[in-house]
Amino acid sequence: MLTGIIVCIVFIILAIAMMTRKLPAILVMPIMAIAIALAAGMPIIPIEGATENILDTVLNSGASRLIGNVINVIFASWMANLLYKTGITDLMIKKAAELGGDKPVVVTILLILVTALLFSAMGGVGAVAMIGGTVLPILISVGVKPLAAAHLFMAALSAGYNVRPANIVTVANICGVQTTDITVACWILCVFDLLFAFIYLIVDAKKNGKKYAFAAPAEDEDLESVKNTDQVRGVRALLASLTPVIILACTYFFKWNVVACYSIGIIWAIIMTAKGGWSKYVSLVTQSAYDGVKDSAPPAIIFMGIGMILTSVGSSTVQTALTPFMQMIIPGSVIGLLIFCAVLSPLSLYRGPFNILGLGSCLAAGIVGLGIFDPVLLAAVFYCTFRWPAQACPTATQVVWVANYVGEEPVNVSNKVFIANWVMTAASVFLVGLLYSTVL
Amino acid sequence: MKQFPFPDRITARDELTHDVLYKKIPEEERVRICDEAWQVGVDAARREMAEDPDGNIYELAKANGLQIIRERVDKVSGGLRFFSEYTPNKSRIDVYVLSIRLFAKNNHLTEEEAEELILAHEFFHFLEENKIGDTSQIYTIPRVTIGSLKIGKSGIRALSEIGAHGFARTYWEISHGEAQLSSGNVTSYNNSMEARMIRGKHDADQLMSFMFGKKK
């Protein structure tokens, strides 16, 4: 019990260090993995009689544990760069805006849907900048307040993220379940995010109504740089716009693996957008791949840290030390677990213990280790608490980028929707939790 | 588009190129509809000045129940710099003082002049909402076109802005009779034809009123 308490103290100290931004997540993750293993009494180097040690088990095996997810993220970022560089994202966004015409609410709804669709296939902060840089100015120019535009964009982004194959596989791997097990939860969360956006839009439109603004570009426009002369048009452009749908169909209908789905998406996009000189086009495809790898660097490093934590917490040494303590603090019933997760869901912010792509990986691994709950239920519930930080966590790179772009503080952007997100998260935790514990 | 736009009739056409529907407007129609929108603004300004040649934009706004809120910020958001915003539901115009300071500096105006100009711009939108109707609707295009099938119609939002530019420039030129603006520069001109005509009409009205006791 004492060892368990020490492990928890280590966890709390490092969590506070990360949440107060004294230490970045990429450092906290490996430090926490090692510190927890040390506190539980795991030897540092291989010794006779011990099956686990920090060098081999935590560092070596841990760092490569989620390597498959790193590859998935690279493919998602490559896809994002390819769609952007060939002008397809721009085309989809502008077509949606054209369809909305002079009706701000219609324009906004269409842009929310297109953004969600794009993020269901694309990933990385590069994609956020690429899509946000086009969507946000349109939203603001049709009269949506900058802060509201940021919230609507983030909700749409989160809706797409929730069904993005690369994300689902990551959560499934962390909790040790099949991706198909949590598909229903992913779509429910996608709908929740879209509902969030539409309710927000209705409330904002009722409160503020129409708006006129006298505004001009903050910087002189370089017309040549914004013009994509090589953009495909007509039927090929329409077919190229279906790339995210192709990827989703391969994932959910054919149930193929993520790399296969993205590869098909990339080949489809290449066929539909190839134009001009072949060498020039090949260079564009290659550059997209390089940029995709570059954009994937931050999540890749985080995944290595998460892998170390999962391996450390999942090791028999730590489990033996941690189980008595976890049994004491974790509720023993499903309803208790749902209340526990719903009430404490704000701790998913700042990559806290309810963020599955942060310290939540440690908590999830700890609860899975208890063997009280079905891992599928845990994966689904933890995915629900993960929806919030994906949409409005001040430390999430996408939130930081969007907040800066609209001239707001990330904390301000997140705090404005704090209560709404808490209610939404609690509702999704109960709906998904009850569904998975009774029906699915 | 310029960072600190104070367009005349010709340069205001640039506003249309930033409309999401720009490419759907037939090329041969673009200049015509821009000029038509500009003229809506010019006519509205002339009417307002004819009704009250001595009134300034602040009094006009106040008389129409508009609240003017000043915020001491240079409001840059989403790659755009905001000088002012008008919210019809709240009868409120927000002006961004530091943005306007930059506008004034870049257009060789005083801050007071720049603020008047920007308020006039927003006042045009007030007129659109309450008196003259939406300028964006003077030209519409089908929302969806599939072959010969055309579904729905949409106005062009940029036309409303062009009208507001036309209104602001005309209002400013008339009310500042001592100076006329030409292509973004202030050049001295005393008694422009426009200003003289409107002031002359006003003087004639006053003379008639004095002689015959006729109310304006």
- Separation CA A186–CA A195 (nearest Å): 14
Q: Which residue has the tokens 């998602």?
A: A76
Q: Does residue B19 lie in a domain region?
A: yes
Q: Does residue B83 lie in a domain region?
A: yes
Residue-level pLDDT at B215: 41
Q: For residue A282, what are the contacts with CB-CB under 8 A and spacing of at least 6?
A: none
- Separation CA A5–CA A7 (nearest Å): 5
Q: How far is CA B170 from CA A83, A142, B68, B82, B177, in A?
A: 46, 25, 21, 22, 11
> Would the CB atoms of B157 and A142 count as touching at under 8 Å?
yes
- Separation CA A302–CA A27 (nearest Å): 9
Judged by DSSP in three states, B77 sits in strand
**Axis-axis angle for helices A183-208, A375-392 (nearest 10):** 30
CB burial string A114-152: b at 16+ within 10 A, e below: bbbbbbbbbbbbbbbbbbbbbbbbbbbbbbbbbbbbbbb
pLDDT tens digit sequence for A50-89: 889 999 999 999 999 999 989 999 999 999 899 888 888 9
Q: Which band of pLDDT confidence, cut at 50, 70 and 90, is reported for residue A404?
A: confident
B197: pLDDT strictly greater than 60:
no
If you write DSSP's letter for every residue of A248-297 in order, what string do you get? Answer: HIIIIIS---HHHHHHHHHHHHHHHH--S-HHHHHHHHHHHHHHHHHHTH
Residues in chain B: 216
Q: Which of A98, A149, A218 shows the shortest C-beta gap to B20?
A: A98
Rounded to an integer, the average pLDDT of A363-372 is 87
Q: Which of B3, B77, B141 shows the shortest C-beta gap to A216?
A: B3
Contacts of B4 in chain A (CB under 8 A): 216
> Would the CB atoms of A94 and B83 count as touching at under 8 Å?
no
Amino acid symbol at B189: Y
B182: pLDDT strictly greater than 50:
no
Tell me which H or E stretch contains B68. Answer: strand B67-71
Q: Does residue A123 lie in a domain region?
A: yes
- Separation CA B59–CA B80 (nearest Å): 29
Q: Does residue B191 lie in a domain region?
A: no
> Is the CB of B1 inside 8 Å of chain A's CB atoms?
yes
Q: Which pairing describes strands B67-71 and B75-77: parallel, antiparallel, or unpaired?
A: unpaired
Query: Which residue range(s) make up the domain with A255?
Result: 67-211+228-297
Q: Which is more confidently placed, B139 or A320?
A: B139
Domains held by chain B: number = 1
Q: Which is more confidently placed, A220 or A134?
A: A134
B178 min Cα distance to partner chain A (Å): 26
> Is the CB of A91 inside 8 Å of chain B's CB atoms?
no
Q: Does residue B48 lie in a domain region?
A: yes
Residue-level pLDDT at B18: 86
> Would the CB atoms of A217 and B80 count as touching at under 8 Å?
yes
Q: Does residue A146 lie in a domain region?
A: yes
Domains held by chain A: number = 1
DSSP β-bridge partners for residue B69: B94
If you write DSSP's letter for every residue of A184-232 in order, what string do you get? Answer: HHHHHHHHHHHHHHHHHHHHHHHHH---EEEEEESS---HHHH--TT--
Q: Where are the alpha helices (DSSP H) in chain B?
A: 14-17, 27-51, 57-63, 97-106, 111-127, 157-175, 193-212
C-alpha angle A337/A338/A344, rounded to 5°? 90
A114 min Cα distance to partner chain B (Å): 16
Q: Which of 280-339 (A) contact B at CB < 8 A?
A: none
> Is the CB of B150 inside 8 Å of chain A's CB atoms?
no
Judged by DSSP in three states, A83 sits in helix
Residue-level pLDDT at A19: 74
> Is the CB of B104 inside 8 Å of chain A's CB atoms?
no
> Is the CB of B86 inside 8 Å of chain A's CB atoms?
yes
- Torsion angle defined by CA atoms of residues B197, B200, B201 and B205, in that order, rounded to the nearest 10 degrees: 180
Q: Which residue has the tokens 């902060």?
A: A125
Residue-level pLDDT at B195: 46
Rounded to an integer, the average pLDDT of A208-214 is 88
Please, are residues A268 and A243 in contact by the beta-carbon 8 Å criterion?
yes
Q: Which band of pLDDT confidence, cut at 50, 70 and 90, is reported for residue A161?
A: very high
B64 min Cα distance to partner chain A (Å): 17
C-alpha angle A361/A365/A366, rounded to 5°? 120
Q: What is the ipTM of this complex?
A: 0.81
Q: Which residue has the tokens 């929740």?
A: A192
> Is the CB of B6 inside 8 Å of chain A's CB atoms?
no
> Would the CB atoms of B89 and A208 count as touching at under 8 Å?
yes
Q: Does residue A141 lie in a domain region?
A: yes
Instruction: Quote the strand ranges of A24-138, DSSP E.
Output: none
> Would the CB atoms of A213 and B85 count as touching at under 8 Å?
yes
Please, are residues A74 and A296 in contact by the beta-carbon 8 Å criterion?
yes
Q: How many Cα neighbours within 13 Å face the side chain of A25?
A: 25
Please, are residues A80 and A130 in contact by the beta-carbon 8 Å criterion?
yes
DSSP β-bridge partners for residue B75: B82
- Separation CA B35–CA B138 (nearest Å): 11
- Separation CA A59–CA A308 (nearest Å): 6
- Separation CA A116–CA A108 (nearest Å): 12
Q: How far is CA B154 from CA A99, B124, B209, in A?
A: 9, 21, 47
pLDDT > 70 in chain B, percent = 80
Q: Which of 22-81 (B) contact A at CB < 8 A?
A: 24, 75-81
DSSP β-bridge partners for residue B92: B67, B87
pLDDT tens digit sequence for B66-88: 999 999 999 998 888 999 999 99
> Is the CB of A213 inside 8 Å of chain B's CB atoms?
yes
Contacts of B155 in chain A (CB under 8 A): 101-102
Amino acid symbol at A406: V
Judged by DSSP in three states, B84 sits in strand
Q: Which band of pLDDT confidence, cut at 50, 70 and 90, is reported for residue B187?
A: very low
Q: Which band of pLDDT confidence, cut at 50, 70 and 90, is reported for residue A260?
A: very high
Q: Which of A97, A99, A212 shows the shortest C-beta gap to B144?
A: A99
pLDDT tens digit sequence for A212-249: 999 988 876 554 444 445 677 788 888 999 999 999 99
Most confident of A402-406, A433-437, B50-54, B204-208: A433-437
Contacts of B121 in chain A (CB under 8 A): 214
Contacts of B89 in chain A (CB under 8 A): 207-210
Kindly tell me the burial class for residue A382, based on how many C-beta atoms sit within 10 Å of its own C-beta (0-12, 13-18, 19 or more). Answer: buried
Q: How far is CA B122 from CA A68, A250, B142, in A?
A: 55, 51, 28
Instruction: Name the maximum alpha-carbon separation found in chain B.
Output: 67
Which tokens go with A130?
Answer: 């690429």
